[in-house]
Amino acid sequence: MSASGAVQPGPPGAAVGPSSSAAGLPATGPLFRPLSAEDEEQQPTEIESLCMNCYRNGTTRLLLTKIPFFREIIVSSFSCEHCGWSNTEIQSAGRIQDQGVRYTLTVRGQEDMNREVVKTDSATTRIPELDFEIPAFSQKGALTTVEGLISRAISGLEQDQPTRRATEHAIAERIDEFIGKLKDLKRMASPFTLVIDDPSGNSFVENPHAPQKDDALVITHYNRTPQQAEMLGLQAEAPEEKSEEEDLRNEVLQFNTNCPECNAPAQTNMKLVQIPHFKEVIIMATNCENCGHRTNEVKSGGAVEPLGTKITLHITDPSDMTRDLLKSETCSVEIPELEFELGMAVLGGKFTTLEGLLKDIRELVTKNPFTLGDSSNPDQSEKLQEFSQKLDQIIEGKMKAHFTMDDPAGNSYLQNVHGSS
């Protein structure tokens, strides 16, 4: 990447400063604006910067944006009008997530090759069939596609091939052979597996079939190892000395945090609650006075159960919508009649009613501009509108359906109104 306005050695007169287009940007409004085709004010900031290829001045464009249902990112693009050199990269502007994430995608056709991918600096990319790996921090972050990741790998391997052919001919031949295998993958000569493992939790692979289950994509969230935390610059938590036990059931604890929407300082309230005929849970609620955003989350107050829990409810009456429900972070939800599956960690932990959870699912689908906005295709929009209408019929009691909660940790609960447990 070129020097994006940073202090770099160069010829005299290579001053760095914002161009007139940057000065004309509006001074009000949020720093990170959601991606929208209708937002005419969302323009990139242009900075004159030094080209590291020809050492003359080029232009770096920075766009601070927010991917819906993902998080804030910084997209940067450099181009030099003198030598034609260009480069793009992305950087995550949000915090490091609580858990790492691993995406395992089985690529079977061109549709899978066109999936959008957000790959951060800390992500490791692997193709097991070729025993091929791109280590973490060996490439800058990228907003691209599966095909773009392979093309980038091919370009990186081809970069020094002329020098290798002159000095190390045998090694150059083996690399040429491997490049041929990567090009075969681009032509979809055979299916293959793509694994993106990001301990920061900030990478992303698109599900083009949302809100339906994606059989080709497996998403795994995991706890970071001490080595991964050290690689990300996170300080390992020192073991705390055990203090005297306190009765927290009658107290509401408060601690400082940042708003997940505007990143302004906010306070989170936390309370330990006993659910009748079940167990203790921790309810946390955050209210931001700056932007008005509110969020609540439920976490299990006990240990992982020896056995998992699978609960299936046949919804036959509108009164079923009033059942209390606890969905933990490890619980997945399935509605077979709609061919819908909600994976683990989506929507987080919730203590609500069945109606409340179904409305949250509907909002998750209908408010995504990538699926129902200007960038969506008509067939996908029609399917999602049909899905939303059927979900409304279930909520209103006009359509019978099965609602299944599958929690391998055993920390989810659905009220039984006809019994004591």
Indicate the Cα dihedral angle 92, 237, 349, 369, nearest 10°. Answer: 0
Task: Give residue 129's pLDDT.
Answer: 94
Per-residue model confidence as pLDDT tens digits over 379-395: 777 888 888 889 899 99
Task: Give residue 387's pLDDT.
Answer: 85
Task: Give residue 36's pLDDT.
Answer: 57
Per-residue model confidence as pLDDT tens digits over 217-232: 999 999 999 888 888 8
At residue 216's C-alpha, the angle toward residues 214 and 220, to 5°, is 80
Please return the burial class of 112, using the count of CB atoms within 10 Å of its CB with bins 0-12, 13-18 and 19+.
buried
- DSSP structure class, residue 368: -
Strands 57-66 vs 72-79: parallel, antiparallel or unpaired? antiparallel
The phi and psi torsions of 50 (rounded to 5 degrees) equal -85, 130
User: Do 361 and 380 meet the contact criterion of CB atoms below 8 Å apart?
Assistant: no
Pull the structure tokens for residue 179: 């490049």
Please return the burial class of 299, using the count of CB atoms within 10 Å of its CB with bins 0-12, 13-18 and 19+.
middle
Pull the structure tokens for residue 416: 């039984």
Query: Exposure string (b/e) for 72-101, b if CB count within 10 Å is 16 or more?
Result: bbebbbbebeeeebebbbbebbbebbeebb
Walk along the chain (421 residues) in steps of 10 and give the mean pLDDT of each run.
Answer: 37 39 45 57 82 91 70 82 86 79 94 90 93 90 89 90 89 93 92 94 86 88 90 67 54 83 85 72 84 78 79 91 86 89 80 88 74 65 83 90 90 77 43
Please return the burial class of 325, using the count of CB atoms within 10 Å of its CB with bins 0-12, 13-18 and 19+.
buried
DSSP annotation string for 135-155? -TTSS--EEEEHHHHHHHHHH
Whose tokens are 């793009």? That residue is 88
Task: Give residue 4's pLDDT.
Answer: 38
DSSP annotation string for 49-111? EE-TTTSSEEEEEEEEEE-TTS-EEEEEEEE-TTT--EEEEEEE-SPPPSSEEEEEEEE-SHH
- DSSP structure class, residue 241: P
Task: Give residue 277's pLDDT.
Answer: 63
